[in-house]
Structure 1
Amino acid sequence: MMSIKSSNLGYPRIGENREWKKVMEKYWAGGMEEDEFQEKMKEIRLQHLRKQQDLGIDMIPVGDFSFYDHVLDTAVMFGLVPKRFNEYGGKASIKTYYDIARGTKEAVASEMTKWFNTNYHYIVPELDETKPSLIENRPLQLYQEAKRELNIEGKPVILGPVTFVKLSKGYKKDLFRTVVDQYVPLYAQLLRELEAEGVTWVQIDEPVLATSLSREEVDYFQEIYKILTESAHGIRVILQTYYESVDDYQDIVSLPVHGIGLDFVQDDGENLNSLIKYGFPEDKVLAAGIINGRNIWRANLEETFSLVHNIQQHVADDRLIIQPSSSLLHVPVTKKNEKKLEDNIKNALSFADEKLHEISIIKKGLDKGITEIQNQISDSKRAIEALRALQSTTDAKSKEAELSMERKEPFRVRRQLQQSFFQLPLLPTTTIGSFPQTPEVKKQRSLWRKGQIDQMQYEKFIKEETERWIKIQEKLGLDVFVHGEFERTDMVEYFGEKLEGFQITELGWVQSYGSRCVKPPIIYGDVSFRAPMTLKETLYAQSLTLKPVKGMLTGPITILNWSFARDDISKYEVANQIAFALREEVRILEENGIRMIQVDEPALREGVPLKEEKKEGYLHAAVNAFKLATASVENETQIHTHMCYSNFKEIMGAISEMDADVISIETSKSHGELIHALEESTYDKGIGLGVYDIHSPRIPLLNEIKENIERALNVLDVHQFWINPDCGLKTRGEDETISALQVMVEAAKQVREEVTLQKALRS
C-alpha cells in the first residue's frame, strides 16, 4: 500500500536573518553588481530548498521564491511591462522589474495592495492593450535548477489565470472572460514545456476559489481547466485553494484536474463537513492543509492526527497529501534563534521550519502508527497546556467599556467646535505620522538595546531628532505636526512592547512588501494597559511648537491583524481588550492637552473576510472596537485615523460609522478609483486622500499633486479635504522626504489660493 505524501505550498523568502532583504537593498543601493546579486539570490533559494529536503518533505515547491513579489513575477513572465518604463518586448531586465515595483524619477511605480485578507502586499498587474505572451518559463527554470543543483524533483508553483486576472487592473469587468481567455493558451504552453522536461506535479494557485463566486465564474473554471489539463496529459495538476473553505464544494472537487488542495484549518470546519457529506472523487488526489500556515502556535498533534484520520475515511492513502493550510510566507522562518522568549511561550510556538517538522511527524505516525509519535504528541499537549496556564479569558473590562460607544455630539456639531478651537486654514497639510528612520536612528536604537548606551543617552538622542524635525516641519510650513516616531521600531511592535499580554520576538520577521519586513508581536494572554505609552514624546514635541501635534496610536483592529493573536478566545474579544487599553491612552493624552489624536487602522480593510456572509459581522466588530478606543473624548478633541491600500468602496459605510473626525487614505496609486467610490457614496467627514506615493523614492511633480488635489475637490467639499502623503515616511530617505513635502505644501498653497480667488470672484 502506498503511503501518504507530504508537501509544502510555499516557503518564506526572507531567510533566517533577513539575508534576502539585505542582498536586495544592497543591490538597489549600488553596492552589488547584477551577477553577484543573482548568485547571492541563488544561494538563498537553494538553501531554502535544502532545508525542506532535510525536513523530509516529499513535494517541495519551486517557483514560490521571488526577487520581490510572485504576482509581479507572473506579470513580467507574460511580458506585462507598463509602457511608462520604456521597455517593450522580450524579457524584462532586473532593473525594469524593480522599476515597476518601486518607480523611477520619471515613472510612478505600479499600484500595490493587500493579498486577499493578509498583510502581504502584491504589485497590481496593469493589463493594457499589450498582447501577453510567455516571455520566459520561470517555473521551468527553477525546476531545472532544483533538479540540477540538489537532485530535487520539485513541484512548480504557478499563480492561476483566474486569480491573476482578478487581481489585475486596466480592463473592463464585463470583459473579464475575454481577458482570461488571452492567458489560457499561455498557461497551456507553460504546462507543455514543463511536461517536456519531465515534471510530474504542478501546483496552480487559485485562492479566488475561497471567495464568494457567481455560478458563471464556477462554470468558467470548468472550461479553463479542461483546456489546461488536456494540453499537457503528462502533467498532474493540483488546483490549490487556501485561506477559507470553498462554497461550491461539489463543483470544485469535480473540476478536470488531478488534485484539489483544500484548507482544513481556516475553513471553520466547512471543508471537512463537505468532505464527510459529499465524499471525494476517486480519480483525484486531495492535498489537505492540516497545519496552520498563518499563525504561529504549535499544533496539537493529537487533534491534527485525528483530523487526518477523519479525512482518511473518505480518501485513500495513495490519494492523500498532507501539507500546511497555505504558503508559509506569512510566518517567520524558525524559532530556534529566539533566545529571550519565556520557555512556556517559546515551546508553544511553531514557525515555518517547525510547521514542516510537524507535517513530517504526522506523516511518520500515519506510516508507522500513532505509537511511533506518542512522545511528540505528548510534548505538543504539554506545551499547549503550559501556554493555557498563562492565559485567562476574562472579558469584564471590554464589557464595562461598551457602556460608552458614541461621541458626545454628532460630527456636524463637532466640526464647528474643532474649527473654532484649532483655527486651521483651508486644505490643511499634515503627514501620517513617522519620519525617516535613518541609519543613525537605527544605530542608536541598536546601541541602546545592546546596553552600549543608557536610557538617558537614548532619550536625549530621541529628543534631538524630534526637535530637529519639528524645526523642519516649521520651515516646510505644514499646518499640523507629528513628533516623528523615532522611538518606534514598528507601529504595532511598539505597542506590543508596552501592553500586557504581548511577547516580542528577536527574529520573528515576516515579509510585508518588497524588502519591507515586519516583526508581528505575539498576543498570548489578556491585553491590558500598563502605563502611558506615547505621552512623553508627544508632550515634548508639542512643547516645541504652537502648531498642533497629533498624538499617534495604532488602532485595535490593526494591532490585532498585524500580530499573531492567541487562538483560545474570539479575535473580537482580543480586539476589545486592545481597544480598552488604547482608550486609557487616549484619555491620558487628552487630559494633558493633546487635542488631535490619530488612531491608525491601516489593516482594517485587509481583515475583511473572504466570504460575503461574514463581512458584516467583522465590520461591525471593527467599528465597535475603534469607537470603544476613541469615543470618550470631548467634542473639541479631533480624532484622526489612517487606512492603507484597498478597495474602499465596499466599506465606505463602515468607515463613516467609525465616526472619526478626519480619515486619511493611502490612495496615490489608485486615486481615481477612490474618487469614483466617493462619487457613488456620500462621505461628510474630514478626509485626506494621499496625494503622493511614499513607497517610491521618486519626488512627485507639483502638477501631479495639484491634479490629485483638484480631482478630489470635484467630489469633496473643500472644507473637508486635508492634504497629506499617502502613508508614513519611515522608510524614505531624509532628503527625498523633505523635497517631496516641499512640493506637497507648495501644491496645497497654490490650490488654496486658487480656491480663495474663485470664491472671491463668485461673490
Structure 2
Amino acid sequence: MAKAANLGFPRIGARRELKRALDAHWAGRLSAAELAAEAAGLRARHWQAQKAAGIDVIPSNDFSLYDHVLDTTAMLGAVPARFDAAGERVNPETCFAMARGTAEAPAMEMTKWFDTNYHYIVPEIAHGQQFQLASPKPVEEFLEAQALGVHTRPVLLGPVTWAALGKARETGVDPLAAVPAILPIYEQVLLRLAAAGADWVQIDEPILVTDLSDDQRRALASAYGRLGRAGPKVMLATYFGGLGDNLALALGLPVAGLHLDLVRDPAQLGRVLAAGTDKVLSLGLIDGRNVWRADLSAAHAMAEAAARLHGGDRIEIAPSCSLLHVPVDLDAEETLEADLREWLAFAHQKLAEVATLARAIRGEDAAEAFRASDSAKAARAASRRIHDPAVAARAAGVTAADLCRASVFCDRQHAQAESLPLPLFPTTTIGSFPQTAEVRHARAEHRRGTLDDAGYEAFLKAETAACIRRQEALGLDMLVHGEFERNDMVEYFGERLAGFAFTRMGWVQSYGSRCVKPPLIFGDVSRPEPMTVDWARFAQSLTERPVKGMLTGPVTILQWSFVRDDQPRSETCRQIALAIRDEVADLEGAGVRAIQIDEPALREGLPLRRAEREAYLSWAVDSFRLAASPVRDETQIHTHMCYSEFNDIMPAIATLDADVISIEASRSDMELLRVFGEVGYPNAIGPGIWDIHSPRVPPLAEMTALLARAAEVIPAERLWVNPDCGLKTRGWPEVEASLKTLVAAAQGLRQQALAAE
C-alpha cells in the first residue's frame, strides 16, 4: 500500500519558539537545560502533528538548534582546532561557537544551501583531519520519538554531499578525500540506529542533482557500496532538481529506496520507470519550496501511473524536499484575503496534500479534497487580481538601450570623483543599523494602533538623525540613513508594490535564529508611488556627507519571495526591475548622489546545472541593469552581495556594471578577492572586513590584515572599506566599537598610501 512520507519539518515552531529560545539563551536569559527542554517540546509537537496528519513515514533528526550541516560536522567530530573541542563530545555550545565565533576564534564560513535562501555552516577540512563519532544526536532523537510512541525514519546528510560542501583551509587538501575516513562513522551511526529499532534511514545526497565530477561519482559508488548494507534500509533522497545524467548512477547504488523531486523535474519519473528498478520510489509531488496549493488531480495522475507500473506497495508520496523552506501553518493567517488563502498551502497543509494523495492511491475516498483543489485552481486562473495589461505592455517594450548606462565605468568614475569628493579607501556601511528593542517596540505599537502615524514618523526621524550623527562622529565617509522604518529588506518593498501579499506568521528559517517572512508575489508587479525617496531626502538634509539611497534589487526581491508559478520567473523579475528603475530615477531626481541596489541573492538563483546557467544569468543581469541604468554618469550605483560562492559567476558580476560592489569576505579570509583579481574585475570593490553575523568585535590588527590583503589585489583608487553585511541584528555598543576600528584600519592604509607617494 502506498505510504505518505515526509522528508523534514520546519524547526522554528509555529510562533518562532526556537528563535526566541535561542536568542534568550545567547543573551544569558535561558539556561542550556531550558533550551534543550524547549527544543524537545518542539520536536514532540512536530512529530505528533505529522502523525495526526496521516503521515506514515515521519522523519527524526531533521531538527537542528542551528544548522543540519553543522550538526553533521559535529557528529563527525570535525571541529576546527581553534574551537578546542578535541576528544570531547561536541555539544550545542561548541556548535554555537563554530557558527557564531567567540572573542578568540572567528566563526566558520557560512554560505547558501544549494539554490535556497537557507544558510549552512561550511565544513572545514584540514590536512590529516581526524574524525570520530562525537555526537549521537541521530540516535538520541530517534529514541526520543520512540518513547513518545512515534516510529520515525532518521535523516542524515550524506557523506559525499557533506564533503562536497566542505572547504580546505590549506592548499593541496581535497575535501572529497575525507569520504573514506568518515564512512566508518556513518556505519557506526547506522548500526546504532538499527540496534535502537530503526528499519529505514533517509540519507540526503542532493549533490546527485548537480554536475558530478568523476571523483564524486566514484565516492558515491564507494560510499553506498558500504552504507547501503550497513544497517537499516536506506532511502536515498535527492532534491532541488532532476537526476539527469546521474540517473543510472543513482539507480545502480545498492540502496533500498530513492526519492525523486518531481516538482523540479516531473519528466524524470517516466525515465526511472522505463529504466526499471526494484527500489521503493519516493515521489516528491508536493512542492516543498513554494506555498501554492498543489494541483492534486495532476499529481494524482503521476502517482497513479507510478503505482500501476511499479506497484502501489513500492511507492511513497512525499513533498519534493524538506518542508524547512515553507511557513508552518496557513491556519495562523486570519488576515489574508479569503480568495488568496484558497490558493495557498504551508507545511501543515502540504502534509494534508501528501496524505490525501496516498489515500487516493490506496483506493480510499478523497473526492472532497480533489474537488476543493480543482476549484481553487480554477479560481486562481480566472482571478482579475493577477494580470495588469499595462504592466505586461511596459515589460514587453523594454529595449537594449534601457539596459545600459550612458558611459563606461572609467568615464563615470571621473564624473563621480567630482560629484562625490571622497578620500582613498572610502568607508561606508551596507545599509541597516541596529533595530533596537525601542525600534521594534515602536513598530509594534504603530502596528497595533497605539502609536499614531505622526508619533511613529517623529520617532523614526529622531532615530535616523541620531544614526547620521553617530556615523559622522565615527568618521565614516559615505553614510546611510539606517533603515529604521523597514521591517525587512524585501518585505518593506513588497508592501509598497502592487502584486504582493503578506502573511502574519509566514516565517521560515534563514540561519540559526534568523527567520525571514517572504512576501507572496501573486500577480503583476508595479510601483504605485515612490517608496524610499522621502526618507533619503530627509537623511541627506541632515549632513553634508553623501547618504546612499538604499534599495533591494529585483533578483533578490524575486528570490526572497514566494513567487507566482503561473508565468516564467524571468518575466516577474523584469516587472520588479521596472518598478525599482522608477525608484532609482526618483532618488536621483531628489538629489541622491549614490544609490545602492542590493543583490545578495544573485548567486542563489543560479541553476544547479551548468547547462541552464547562461539563460538565468542573462535575464538576471538584464534585470539589474534595467533597474540601475536610468541615472547620469555622476550618480554612483552600488550593489551588495553576501554569503554565496561567486567564483563561477564572475563574468556576470562584471556585466552588472555597478560602480561599486561590496561583498562578504571576512569569514573566507579574503579568498573571494583572488578571483576578482584573476579576472581583472574593472570596477570598484568593497570587501567586507568585519563579519557582522558574529557577536565578536574584531581587533584592529585583524581588520588591518584583511584590508592589507585586499589592497594587494585591488588598486587603491577602486578599494572601499565596509562590513560584510547590514547591521540590523547587532547592538549599538559592538557596532560603534567595530566601526571605529574599521575606520582606523582604513585611515592607517590611507596614511601608508600617502606616505608612499
User: Scaled by the length of structure 2, what TM-score is found?
Assistant: 0.97
Q: Residue 502 of structure 1 contacts residue 524 of structure 1 at CA under 8 Å; is this kept in 2?
A: yes
Partner of 1:382: 375
Q: CA deviation at 1:176?
A: 4.3
Structure-1 separation of matches of 2:710 and 2:228: 48
State the secondary structure of the residue aligned to 1:155: strand
Q: CA deviation at 1:93?
A: 3.1
Q: CA deviation at 1:177?
A: 4.4
State the secondary structure of the residue aligned to 1:688: strand
Q: Residue 164 of structure 2 contacts residue 176 of structure 2 at CA under 8 Å; is this kept in 1?
A: no
Partner of 1:221: 220
Q: CA deviation at 1:172?
A: 5.6
State the secondary structure of the residue aligned to 2:604: helix
Structure-2 separation of matches of 1:172 and 1:64: 34
Q: CA deviation at 1:218?
A: 2.2
Q: Provide runs of 4+ in structure 1 moved above 6 Å.
A: none
2:724 pairs, out of 701, 713, 726, with: 726
Question: Within the alignment, does 1:203 sit opposite 2:205 as a pair?
Answer: no
Paired amino acid for 1:432: I
Q: CA deviation at 1:230?
A: 2.9
Structure-1 separation of matches of 2:222 and 2:93: 38
2:398 pairs, out of 398, 401, 404, with: 401
Report 1:295-444 matches (<5 A). 295-369=290-364, 372-388=365-381, 389=383, 390-392=385-387, 394=389, 395-402=392-399, 403-444=401-442
Structure-2 separation of matches of 1:141 and 1:104: 28
Q: Residue 671 of structure 1 contacts residue 708 of structure 1 at CA under 8 Å; is this kept in 2?
A: yes
Paired amino acid for 1:391: I
Q: 1:44 to 1:391 in 2, by over 3 A?
A: same
Q: Residue 91 of structure 2 contacts residue 135 of structure 2 at CA under 8 Å; is this kept in 1?
A: no
**Deviations, residues 436-462 of structure 1 (Å, cap 9, x unaligned):** 000000000000001111111100000
Matched length: 749
Partner of 1:705: 703
Partner of 1:715: 713
**Deviations, residues 111-160 of structure 1 (Å, cap 9, x unaligned):** 11000000000011112243011123211111100001x21111000000
Structure-2 separation of matches of 1:703 and 1:564: 43
Give unmatched runs, 5+ long, in structure 1.
none
Q: Which moved more, 1:746-755 or 1:168-177?
A: 168-177
Structure-2 separation of matches of 1:280 and 1:732: 55
State the secondary structure of the residue aligned to 2:120: strand
Partner of 1:242: 239
Question: Within the alignment, does 1:458 sit opposite 2:456 as a pair?
Answer: yes
Partner of 1:39: 37
Paired amino acid for 1:337: A
State the secondary structure of the residue aligned to 2:499: strand
Q: Residue 79 of structure 2 contacts residue 86 of structure 2 at CA under 8 Å; is this kept in 1?
A: yes
State the secondary structure of the residue aligned to 1:192: helix
Q: CA deviation at 1:675?
A: 2.3
Structure-2 separation of matches of 1:320 and 1:354: 21
Partner of 2:134: 135
State the secondary structure of the residue aligned to 2:651: helix
Q: CA deviation at 1:165?
A: 0.6
1:280 pairs, out of 234, 252, 276, with: 276
**Deviations, residues 391-432 of structure 1 (Å, cap 9, x unaligned):** 127532122233511100111110111111111100000000
Q: CA deviation at 1:354?
A: 0.3
**Deviations, residues 494-520 of structure 1 (Å, cap 9, x unaligned):** 001000000010000000011000000
User: Scaled by the length of structure 1, what TM-score is found?
Assistant: 0.97
State the secondary structure of the residue aligned to 2:194: helix
Structure-1 separation of matches of 2:720 and 2:171: 31
Partner of 1:144: 143
Q: Which moved more, 1:640-649 or 1:401-410?
A: 401-410
Paired amino acid for 2:459: F
Q: CA deviation at 1:173?
A: 7.1
1:752 pairs, out of 745, 750, 753, with: 750
Question: Within the alignment, does 1:193 sit opposite 2:192 as a pair?
Answer: yes
Report 1:588-627 matches (<5 A). 588-627=586-625
Q: Residue 160 of structure 2 contacts residue 216 of structure 2 at CA under 8 Å; is this kept in 1?
A: no
Q: Residue 2 of structure 2 contacts residue 315 of structure 2 at CA under 8 Å; is this kept in 1?
A: yes
Q: 1:86 to 1:176 in 2, by over 3 A?
A: closer
Structure-1 separation of matches of 2:254 and 2:536: 60
Report 1:548-587 matches (<5 A). 548-587=546-585
Q: Residue 23 of structure 1 contacts residue 40 of structure 1 at CA under 8 Å; is this kept in 2?
A: yes
Paired amino acid for 1:546: E
Structure-1 separation of matches of 2:547 and 2:468: 9
Structure-2 separation of matches of 1:384 and 1:468: 51
Q: Residue 238 of structure 1 contacts residue 259 of structure 1 at CA under 8 Å; is this kept in 2?
A: yes
Q: Which moved more, 1:170-179 or 1:375-384?
A: 170-179
Q: CA deviation at 1:174?
A: 6.7
Q: Residue 393 of structure 1 contacts residue 569 of structure 1 at CA under 8 Å; is this kept in 2?
A: no
Q: 1:270 to 1:368 in 2, by over 3 A?
A: closer
Partner of 1:662: 660
Report 1:608-687 matches (<5 A). 608-687=606-685
Partner of 2:229: 230
Partner of 2:466: 468
Question: Within the alignment, does 1:17 sit opposite 2:15 as a pair?
Answer: yes
Q: Which moved more, 1:502-511 or 1:98-107?
A: 98-107
**Deviations, residues 41-98 of structure 1 (Å, cap 9, x unaligned):** 1111111111101111011000000111111111111112222122221212332221
State the secondary structure of the residue aligned to 2:229: helix
Q: CA deviation at 1:683?
A: 0.5
State the secondary structure of the residue aligned to 1:368: coil
Question: Within the alignment, does 1:72 sit opposite 2:70 as a pair?
Answer: yes
Q: Residue 468 of structure 2 contacts residue 481 of structure 2 at CA under 8 Å; is this kept in 1?
A: yes
Q: Which moved more, 1:31-40 or 1:625-634?
A: 31-40
Q: Residue 643 of structure 1 contacts residue 664 of structure 1 at CA under 8 Å; is this kept in 2?
A: yes
Structure-2 separation of matches of 1:74 and 1:195: 19
Q: Residue 462 of structure 1 contacts residue 486 of structure 1 at CA under 8 Å; is this kept in 2?
A: yes
Give unmatched runs, 5+ long, in structure 2.
none
Paired amino acid for 1:305: H
Q: CA deviation at 1:35?
A: 1.5
Q: Residue 670 of structure 2 contacts residue 687 of structure 2 at CA under 8 Å; is this kept in 1?
A: no
Structure-1 separation of matches of 2:296 and 2:90: 46
Paired amino acid for 2:3: K
Q: Residue 275 of structure 1 contacts residue 314 of structure 1 at CA under 8 Å; is this kept in 2?
A: no
State the secondary structure of the residue aligned to 1:605: coil
Q: Residue 601 of structure 1 contacts residue 643 of structure 1 at CA under 8 Å; is this kept in 2?
A: yes
Identity of aligned residues (%): 46
Structure-1 separation of matches of 2:174 and 2:733: 44
Structure-1 separation of matches of 2:215 and 2:750: 50
**Deviations, residues 160-219 of structure 1 (Å, cap 9, x unaligned):** 000001111126677344311111111111111111222100000000001111344224
